[in-house]
Amino acid sequence: MNLKVGLLGGGSWGTTVASLVARNAPTKMWARNENTVRDINENHRNERYLPGADLTPLLRATTSIKEAVGDADVIVMGIPSQQFRRVLEDAKPHIRPWVPIVSLSKGLEQGTQMRMTEIIESVMPGHPAGVLTGPNLAREIVAGKAAASVIAMVDDTIAVALQRLFRSGLFRVYTNSDVVGCELGGALKNVIAIAAGMGDGARAGENTRAAIITRGLAELTRLGVALGGRPETFAGLAGMGDLVATCISPLSRNRTVGFELGKGRKLDDIIAEMSMVAEGVKTVKVVIEMGERHNLPMPIMQEVYNVLYEGATALDAYRGLIQQESGAESDPG
């Protein structure tokens, strides 16, 4: 393709997407860490975040944001949600007008409660904003295993052009115009994945995991629809698909946090051992605020919040959920 791509972020998913896109278009990836940049350029590896994985030799990396985005026709943001705004503001002086900006982040900004595309629209008005999301575990995709994702943009013409840019080999990409729903599905499922991980860590069983996933899907769908998403989006790749992958895979960072909590470990100790961000840990604070604003009961997400920030244990969360009165399956709670 004639498009040039600038990707910001040197983590596992950002690197994976950069390697995929570089097969279709000239791609420059920015990372802060000089060793990471050197590893990509000289060894075609990112051993820090994707040990043992081979990247396409076509991918080039740099520690200069200006070099990465200055001549780019498409910007991809592989930055965690709480640093997203700051990195985008640093890149802003070097980005040409009207260039589409695509988020890979699955989180919500604390304080503002904004989605990443809302931050793009705020910091970079006039730039088409979108999100690439779905059940996408970086280590499997970089290893060449089949996967599917969604590129969500309001403008279908731009979405179709980006669909061709992102799809590669066994990585299938579908379009969706529901940016709000796709983004919220990716962010909210991380909280449910922590709950599922807690159940697994506490050896609660497969039935409990299935209940958490299905009731969690109902919970995130209610909130997502209240915030402007379409119901059918949450039954698709950006909703149920991403939720299932994140709740059951040992590669999932959010499930890993929950799993260790379920074993009785402290959050600070778990986070200290992780090299990558588990977005659900911060997102749950925003989610609880949103639920209260819309007067929506969210028992699973509330129990996760209680464990992370109110001193409750995974056993307390389990007891809290089973003591909830159950009515019709369509009811909240």
Are 196 and 149 in a shared domain? no
Which residues does the annotation mark as catalytic? 189
Query: Is 332 contained in some domain?
Result: no
In a shared domain, residues 126 and 193: no
| pLDDT score at 171 | 97
Number of domains present in the structure of the chain? 2
pTM over the 0.75 mark? yes
Please check whether residues 122 and 204 belong to one and the same domain: no
How many residues would you count in the chain?
A: 333
Taking residue 326's Cβ as centre, other Cβ atoms within 10 Å add up to 9
Helix axes 280-293, 206-226, angle to 10 degrees: 50
Residues 122 and 250 in one domain: no
Specify the DSSP class assigned to residue 132: E
Give pLDDT, residue 315. 86
Exposed/middle/buried for residue 159 (C-beta within 10 Å: 0-12, 13-18, 19+): buried
Task: Give the per-residue pLDDT at 68.
Answer: 98
Residue 310 lies in a domain: yes
In a domain, 24, yes or no: yes
Same domain? For 112 and 216 the reply is: no
Q: What is the dihedral of CA 134, 260, 110, 237, to 10 degrees?
A: 10
| 194 and 115 share one domain | no
**Considering 130, 149, 177, which residue would you say is the last residue of a domain?**
177
pLDDT at residue 277, rounded to an integer: 81
For residue 74, being part of any structural domain is answered with yes
What's the confidence (pLDDT) of residue 333? Answer: 63
Q: What is the pLDDT of residue 202?
A: 93
**What are the two backbone dihedrals, phi and then psi, of residue 246, each rounded to the nearest 5 degrees?**
-75, -30
What secondary structure does DSSP assign to 41-110, as a single string? IIIS--TTTSTTPPPPTT-EEES-HHHHHTT-SEEEE---HHHHHHHHHHHGGGSPTT--EEE------T
Both 217 and 163 in one domain: the answer is no
CATH of the domain at 171: 3.40.50.720
Same domain as 41, residue 168 = yes
Same domain, 114 and 235: no
Cα separation, 176 vs 185, in Å, equals: 13
Domain that holds residue 305: 188-322
Tell me the CB-side half-sphere exposure of residue 46, using CA atoms within 13 A: 30
327 in a structural domain: no
> Which of 125, 154, 177 is the last residue in one of the domains?
177
Based on the fold, state whether residues 152 and 247 are members of the same structural domain: no
Tokens 């990247």 correspond to 55
Q: Please check whether residues 14 and 80 belong to one and the same domain.
A: yes
182 in any annotated domain:
no
Q: Are 246 and 284 found together in one domain?
A: yes
pLDDT 10s digit of each residue in the chain, 333 long? 689 999 999 999 999 999 999 999 999 999 999 999 999 999 999 999 999 999 999 999 999 999 999 999 999 999 999 999 999 999 999 999 999 999 999 999 999 999 999 999 999 999 999 999 999 999 999 999 999 999 999 999 999 999 999 999 899 999 999 999 999 999 999 999 999 999 999 999 999 999 999 999 999 999 999 999 999 999 999 999 999 999 999 999 999 999 999 999 999 999 999 878 889 999 999 999 999 999 999 999 999 999 999 999 988 888 777 666 666 667 766
In a domain? residue 328? no
CATH of the domain at 287: 1.10.1040.10
Q: Per the domain annotation, does 267 fall within a domain? A: yes
Q: Which of 148, 177, 206 finishes a domain?
A: 177
